[in-house]
């Protein structure tokens, strides 16, 4: 919000050109044009992307995490252990260990 005010002020009373404002403030020309067009910044788009590799293993992972809620903290399953169990018990599912770690962080 403050940046847009600064851009508009600089355009009106300072540099006077889109290029000059962008150069002075170190921002992209697109941002200057957006600020001059509207005083309020647009909402950012949040892209949602499916996880086709993780979907078959999702119920299995949820069950493990659900069971882990009842055990002491030091005895809970790690992402590596969950990944190893998926490789052993669900051989048809091909998934990377980092994907398991990220899915646990999102939950």
Parse the chain into domains and list their residue ranges. 2-37, 55-106
pLDDT at 83: 92
Please write the tens of the pLDDT for every residue from 29-44: 888 888 888 878 788 8
Query: Is the confidence at residue 55, as pLDDT, over 90?
Result: no
pLDDT at 86: 92
Q: Give the angle 90-95-97 at the CA atoms, nearest 5°.
A: 110
Residue 5: pLDDT band (50, 70, 90) is confident
Q: Which of 70, 66, 63 is nearest to 86 (CA)?
A: 63
Highest mean pLDDT among 12-26, 33-47, 68-82: 68-82
């Amino acid at each position: 919000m403050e940046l847009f005010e600064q851009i508009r002020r600089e355009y009106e009373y300072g540099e006077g050109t889109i290029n000059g404002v962008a150069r002075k403030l170190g921002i992209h020309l697109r941002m200057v044009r957006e600020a001059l067009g509207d005083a309020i910044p647009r909402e950012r788009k949040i892209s949602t992307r499916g996880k086709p590799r993780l979907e078959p293993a999702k119920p299995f992972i949820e069950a493990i995490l659900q069971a882990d809620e009842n055990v002491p903290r030091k005895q809970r399953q790690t992402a590596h252990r969950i990944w190893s169990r998926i490789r052993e018990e669900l051989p048809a599912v091909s998934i990377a260990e980092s994907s398991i770690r990220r899915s646990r962080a999102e939950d």
